[in-house]
Structure 1
Amino acid sequence: MTSYRDNMYVITCPARTGSTMLVHLLRSHPDICSHDEVFSSPGTIGGMTGTYLIKCRAEPGFASYLSAEKDRDPIKFLYKIVLDLQGKKAVCFKLKHDELVLPEYKALREEIVNDRDFRIIHLRRENLLRRYLSHYMANRVTGVTLAVRGQTVPEMQPVVLDPHECEKDFQTVLAREKEFEQLFVQHPTFSISYEEMIAPGAEQIQSLLDFIGVPRRELTTTTQKLGRADLRQVIANFEEVRDYFADGPFSKFFENA
């Protein structure tokens, strides 16, 4: 299917890189319709925003209808529902690398690759140790992946990390980032990191708005940071892990820890 549009954006990224924060920041712009992971979880529908979210809340059965349409024909659902501008100037949604590598996402992945009108936002996290720790805590300890203002952020007890598992994860993340950069090489692309999103002034966020083609403005989010700033307080064997990576390419992740 061909779209002939210049206002469609896909956020692609590893998990735990601040993608939900980015979705919410973009959602706060009046000219952007910013969906989350609308293609996750077969049999359910989530991540929608705008009029579709309102209708899901107001009409019993509408969410089930959308879910069925998504599962029946994801490509049609993509163009008809997800990419509906809803009166905005641009629309975006998120697809994580963990999903894009799965066989069940093959048709969707190939459609996006083949439709060069899609503009790709590559989101990454510069400190892969903090990304791994965030993923570890969310999946093995707290079970919490998101907290918004007013919700309690779970306490984080120190955990013991396996340096070999850390290294394997770093390599996997970097390999997938390279894979998807190459996959979308024919598309207009923009790269931004979590660290750039939270930097004072967040100039790269404003540059992203230029890329999307909407006016610059301050963006807001109610999402809360789940991790601690001091890695020594969270990684019980911090010295062991740091020594394992000493003098190697990943030693930089322990600077200013």
Structure 2
Amino acid sequence: MPIPTKFILLSNARSGTSLVMSTLNSHPDICCHGEIFHPKPRFHFREIWSDHHDPADFEGAPLSLARAVLDDPRTAERFAVVGFKMWKAQAPGACKALCRDAALRKIILERKNKLATFSSGMLAKQTGVWNLSGDRKAVAIKAEKLPFNAERFRKYVQTQREVFDFYERHVEGAVLRVSYEELNREAFDGILAFLGVESAELTEGKKKLHSSDILNRFSEDRHPEILRTLDELGHPEWVKEAPAT
């Protein structure tokens, strides 16, 4: 039996991971699971695995769960590539071990605009809408303008930097770095090539939920503070997020 190419997608919340993994799942040779270390993992596994396994059986043993997902023989019979997504906070020890596994390919996906990820998380909690399937029509999501706390945002940015620094320090073997802001057809072709499968017509798995005018997600009376904070951080460009072309 051929051995599938195995990979993990390393990132953080609200960074486009659902878009990437759901889109890759439209390729006939790829099996992508979601956040296998999510506190409520029920909907994060493809049925080919979850029909025969219970993630609760691996409670307290995240690395064993990862191996069970990546080494599943039923998956190997049907797919040439298998992978899942995770971020450091979900299972730090397992994350370090997986990063150092040189036989495992890693995709590091980062959304450079931290004001976008910061506000996206707040909006998701406020509206209860975390993702919108690519095959659904766009819907108007009613959201209230967000508050802003400069100290909280600075701590958030620092935490984000530490997470991606952790990945860079520990990854070994083949690594592909992808930016959310550059997710287009060419980027997906690059991911397919990295995973060793032929290019194919992919179906976009998720839709963008909110406007690319990031500043306008916040209450207008907080705009001066936001602009000042972004200038101090050296990223005034975070007020907007140009869509990938």
User: TM class by shorter-chain length?
Assistant: 0.7 to 0.9
2:49 corresponds to which letter in structure 1?
Answer: Y
1:109 paired residue among 87, 91, 95:
95
Take 1:256 and 1:213, find their aligned partners in 2: how far apart are those partners? 31
Is 1:157 matched with 2:154?
A: no
Q: Which one of 81, 86, 89 corresponds to residue 80 of structure 2?
A: 89
Q: How does 1:24-63 map to 2 (within 5 A)?
A: 24-41=22-39, 45-53=42-50, 55=51
> What amino acid is the match of 2:81?
A
For the 8 Å contact 2:215–2:239, the answer to whether it is kept is no
Deviation of residue 79 (structure 1)? 2.7
Q: Which residue of 2 aligns with 1:254?
A: 239
Offset of 1:23 from its aligned partner?
0.7
- 5+ unaligned residues in a row in structure 1: which ranges? 56-61
CA shift for structure 1 position 246: 2.2
Cα 1:159–1:75 change in 2 (3 A) is: closer
Secondary structure of the equivalent of 2:35? coil
Query: Which aligned segments of 4 or more residues in structure 1 are displaced greater than 6 angstroms?
Result: none
Match of 2:209 among 195, 214, 226: 226
Corresponding residue pairs, total: 234
Partner of 1:122: 108
Q: Does 1:143 align with 2:128?
A: yes
Three-state SS of the structure 1 residue aligned to 2:160 is helix
* TM value normalised by structure 2: 0.84
> 1:192-213: CA deviations, max 9, x gaps?
111111x4xx312211111000
Structure 2 residues without counterparts, runs of 5 or longer:
none
Distance in 2 between the 1:120 and 1:99 partners? 17
Give the match's secondary structure for 1:36.
Answer: strand
For residues 66 and 86 of structure 1, do their structure 2 counterparts lie closer, same or farther at Cα, with a shift above 3 Å needed?
farther
CA shift, 1:176, in A, is: 1.3
Task: Report the 3-state secondary structure (helix = DSSP H, G, I; strand = E; otherwise coil) of the residue aligned with 2:85.
Answer: strand
When residues 175 and 81 of structure 1 are mapped into structure 2, their CA distance, relative to the original with a 3 A threshold, is closer
| Contact residue 147 and residue 153 of structure 1 kept, 8 A | no
Identity of matched residues, % = 23
Say whether the 8 Å CA contact 2:111–2:179 is kept in structure 1.
yes
Tell me which amino acid in the other structure corresponds to 2:146: V
Question: Which range moves more in the overlay, 157-166 or 10-19?
Answer: 157-166
Per-residue displacement from partner, 1:210-256 (whole Å, max 9, x unpaired)? 10001112321342222122234321122321123226422221256
Provide the aligned C-alpha RMSD in A: 2.6
> Quick one: distance in 2 between partners of 1:254 and 1:232?
5
**C-alpha displacement of 1:177:** 0.4
**For the Cα contact (< 8 Å) 2:213–2:239, is it kept in 1?**
no
Equivalence for 2:89: 98
SS of the aligned residue for 1:120 comes to strand
Cα offset, 1:40, TM superposition: 1.7
Task: Give the equivalent residue in structure 2 for 1:59.
Answer: none
- Amino acid corresponding to residue 161 of structure 2 in structure 1: L
Partner of 1:18: 16
Q: Which whole-Å CA distance do the structure 2 matches of 1:15 and 1:216 have between them?
A: 28
